[in-house]
Amino acid sequence: MAHGSDSAPGKRQVFVLGFAGAPALRLDLDVPPGPVTILELLPAIRAAADALFGRTTEALAAAGSPVTCGPGCGVCCNQLVPVSREEALALARFVRDLPGPRRRAVEGRFRQAVAGLEEAGLLARLIESFERGIHKPGVLAALQRDYWAVGVPCPFLEQGSCSVHPVRPVICRQYSVTSDPALCARPFTPGVRLAEVRHSLDLAGALAAFDGGRARPTAALPLTLALLLEKKLEAGRLPKVPGPEMLSRFLELASRFASPPR
């Protein structure tokens, strides 16, 4: 059940996602025609991410390196998952709109995650780093390693699978591997190297650098802190722009977010 701001009616439109040195990707998307915030455009952006993922996986399979992720393999859901502030707000609203018993169960897992991070002495550091210093060399890598050591599963993880798969963040849609899935349980063990899939464009990075109206410095936070920081996220004002214009702006920005080569 999605919050109203994440399910505005739209109409099908064709957009083209450009790449440097590669064929463009044609996107046939459902886009709200009137003025909207970035929250209402998230379904179209997720669909664009799925289309990009589909093209990448087809190319990998043709090259003999298929994606090895499968149903019930949720080990990666124990990693630090940075999401844009707007995606975090959308997820918080999604949780609040869940039926009572289910909402309470998910909220409980969010509280457990925050408590685990606080007990490990990592909570304040996460908040501070994502607000001020996440781009400093080595900061994110150190946080990812320390977060993994705490052992905090995503609050949406149930029986090894994502329980909110249709509305999962863009970064989750991008993440997959072509290496042995058994290695995913040891990502920071010396000598272990996961063959993470690299897409032509980093749409999650572009989304974190876009407020719906224009580009901005990257604004992200750990998914597990979405409910904790919900009031702060709600206090921000989001630009309203006609859906097709906003999506065009986003895709133009995204075309400059080429993923770094491996």
pTM: 0.91
* φ, ψ dihedrals at 172, nearest 5°: -70, -35
Domain annotation covers residue 259: no
Domain annotation covers residue 261: no
Domain annotation covers residue 120: yes
How many domains is the chain built from?
1
CB 9 within 8 A of CB 20: no
Residue 99 is classified by DSSP as -
The token duo for 173 is: 């849609």
- Output the pLDDT for position 260: 53
- Output the pLDDT for position 97: 97
- Output the pLDDT for position 11: 84
Dist CA 79 CA 104 (whole Å): 23
Amino acid in position 227: L
Selection from 260, 248, 202, 252 nearest residue 84 by Cα: 202
Q: What is the mean pLDDT of each run of 10 residues along the chain (262 residues)?
A: 45 84 87 96 96 94 93 89 97 97 97 98 96 88 96 94 95 94 92 92 94 94 98 94 96 83 46
- Output the pLDDT for position 7: 46
Domain annotation covers residue 260: no
- Output the pLDDT for position 133: 78
Domain annotation covers residue 262: no
Dist CA 223 CA 161 (whole Å): 16
| Domain assignment of residue 192, given as a range | 4-254
